[in-house]
Structure 1
Amino acid sequence: MEIQAPDLQAPDLRADCSRCVGLCCVALAFARSADFAIDKPAGDPCVNLADDFRCTIHPVLRDSGFKGCTVFDCFGAGQQVTQHTFGGATWHDEQVRPDMFAVFPVMRQLHEVLWYLAEALELVEASPLHPRLRRAEREVREAAAAPPEALRELDVEALRAPAAALLRDAARLTREAGPIGTGNLRVSRTRLRPGADLAGADLRGADLRGAELRGALLIGADLRKADLSRAELIGADLRDADLAGADLSRAVYLTQMQVNAAAGSTTTRLPERLQRPAHWR
């Protein structure tokens, strides 16, 4: 049976907490910081997790010091692990718990790759690569459907590396399909490169069309009214970046986590697949 290519609107790539058992609130660790009000070791339930696997302070997470929770996105890995890998079991079962907690981070990585592959398959400019992208998608999806013991032993990097190369090529074709921006006078165009340190950079009104900002550090950058059409943003750190009035409607590989971590406004233009965060008042 042929596995269909994923759809960015499909529920399997979007977190559905109602079909999960609070895996991100238990399996993962976090440390007291600006993002989390407390320390929590991996495997310990968060103090805010109720017996029904729901967050007791969800409406006021940011005001309560848990900004990191409002940023996180599992790309649907939580319900995949809960409902499919473990057939509806919960981590309360001591025999299931170790495998479930070990598999969840692996599944999240796989679902993140599926998200990017789904977007690449929607890039018209990358159509010459679509057959190879579909094959890569099938391989990742087959790995995600494996039993717990296979997922625990899975070499995620070996699976992700060829997909990452295809994603870079798809982004390049898209970036080069239109005008390349001139940047702005405050930041040299030569700094607009993969992995660039642009933390706190003044990029107001910058013409960043087609910029290759893969893995760039944009923490606290001022991107107000910047044009990021066809800019590649996979892995870019947008924490506290000001996106007010910025155009990201055609940005490549922008995720909900990146948007959640940034600041924006009603005039920020986002891709249709992403939601405007509630804290963007």
Structure 2
Amino acid sequence: MTTSRTTALTIAATALALATVAGCNDDTGSAAQPAPTSAAASASPTASPTATASSPATTAPAPANSAATGSASPAAEGAFDPEQALAAADKSPYAVSVVMITESGGVALSTMKGRSNLNGVWTGRMEMRTTAPGVAEPILWIESLTTADASYLRDLSTPGDEWAKMPRSTDNAVVDYTDYAKLLLAAGPGARKGMETRDGVAVYHLTGHISTEQLSTVDPRTYKSLKAKGTTGFDFDQWIDRAGRTRYAEQQVEMKGVKAVNKVTFSDFGPAETFAAPVAG
């Protein structure tokens, strides 16, 4: 395998590790040290996400008054101010379906999909599949189940593989995409791309560059990971709805000269669910 392919797969693996960076609305402190959650989760089959990570967007006219007030044009249908939406976002735990696709050179290298509880202790059930360019079979195909007090893992490429139980790591804490949006907004009016419609939902598009150093307090785990790999920052696009929830996110990252994009879609929002330990056998 060439060096570039190896690096691309490293990016894919890193992306899967960063996929717990989710569209929750709690404060930075609660993300770093999650409080005990009242929401437990179920080992029932994962709900299938209805949205795709690359759904087309319809852009509303550019905000005429963004430079002065930072608010979207009132002419845009369903227009809202992203800063106000984030401030008013509900802090209650909720469940959401997640799809994350990592691409390099236009080729999908990894896909992660499943359902998770956010805005509390992260719990959920996810399937992760990683491939190599030109190789038909996945090089990694696993399913993970995280409950309130433990983690479970099994190899889906091995028929009948049993769940392996392991201690729940503090690294499973969900990082708050809300703080990413705040970083973008703090950069000034240029971050406000304006209102768009994706999958029939009015969303506000934010864009900008986030440095690795900016993550030192917002997202310490990702900060350490990127710092260790020599990544100084990444371009980030984020689409939030009027409830202040992240609907879509795209991260353009480069490691050792290899570029990749991580595309994340959040859909099927609902009440927090129960994810229980798998039944033996």
The question of a shared fold, defined as TM-score above 0.5 by the shorter chain, is answered with no
Greater share of residues in helix: 1
TM-score by length of structure 2 reads 0.25
TM-score by length of structure 1 reads 0.25
Greater share of residues in strand: 2
